[in-house]
Amino acid sequence: MGKLVVIEGLDGSGKRTLAGVLTRQLVERGARVTSRAFPRYGESVHADLVREALHGRLGDLTDSVYAMAVLYALDRQGAATAIRADLATHDVVLLDRYVASNAAYGAARLHEDAGGRFVEWVRALEADRFGLPSPDLQLLLRVPTAVAADRAARREQTEADRARDLYEADRDLQQRCAEVYDGLATSGWLGPWEVLDDTSDVKISALLDRLFCR
């Protein structure tokens, strides 16, 4: 049975970049690795609805933190069988965002913290009710909010179809989200966490030791 490793962090923090670095390093060491990113834009109707909502095209649906969270959760539920199948055939299944993104962004939108009602509601919905596999390790890519915002802004100018969405453009939301992420990591929400200060910080051998108890 493979290990489910999740990368979490703010918009523009470098999660996708880190997923690439980690995948290369793990493959070089002979691990069978597969990766996915949530939301699954272009693959799931729920993810596509999320994208429309994040760009203000679904009326007042975006205003509802709970409605948005249900869309994200349904996208993940639709991938649960595939994730389990991946875990059966790979050493590492790497996810760019998972359940903790829902907890962090929703709680931040509601001005709640990691110990608040919303975070517990997400856990009950996605872990208990939908039965999504628990992560073996959650990596929090913790870069300063201003750095993440600058990277997201630069990417908007250099990549097609990457206009910043409503969450990405909201610096106060991102700041509160960073605080909720810190709380989730400190409390070991949904499983173990490791905090990385930047992509250069990845100690791949330590990570492998931790994952495979060597």
Ligand X SMILES: Cc1cn([C@H]2C[C@H](O)[C@@H](COP(=O)(O)O)O2)c(=O)[nH]c1=O
Binding site for ligand ATP (CB under 6 A): 9, 11-17, 151-152, 154-155, 198-199
Rounded to a whole number of angstroms, the minimum distance from the CB of residue 213 to ligand X is 29
The tally of CA atoms less than 13 A away on the side-chain side of residue 15 is 23
Which residues on adjacent β-strands are paired with residue 68? Answer: none
The entry of ligand ATP, ligand X, none near residue 9 (CB within 5 to 8 angstroms by kind) is ligand ATP
Q: Is 11 in the site for ligand X (CB under 6 A)?
A: yes
**Segment lying near ligand X (by CB under 6 A), choices 28-36, 96-104, 136-144, 199-207:** 96-104
The entry of ligand ATP, ligand X, none near residue 155 (CB within 5 to 8 angstroms by kind) is ligand ATP
Cβ atoms of 61 and 54 closer than 8 Å: no
Tokens of 209: 């030791």
Tokens of 44: 């799931």
Cβ atoms of 76 and 126 closer than 8 Å: yes
Burial of 154 (0-12, 13-18, 19+ CB in 10 A): exposed
Q: Is 39 in the site for ligand X (CB under 6 A)?
A: yes
- Binding residues for ligand X (CB under 6 A): 11, 38-39, 72, 97, 101-102, 105, 167-168
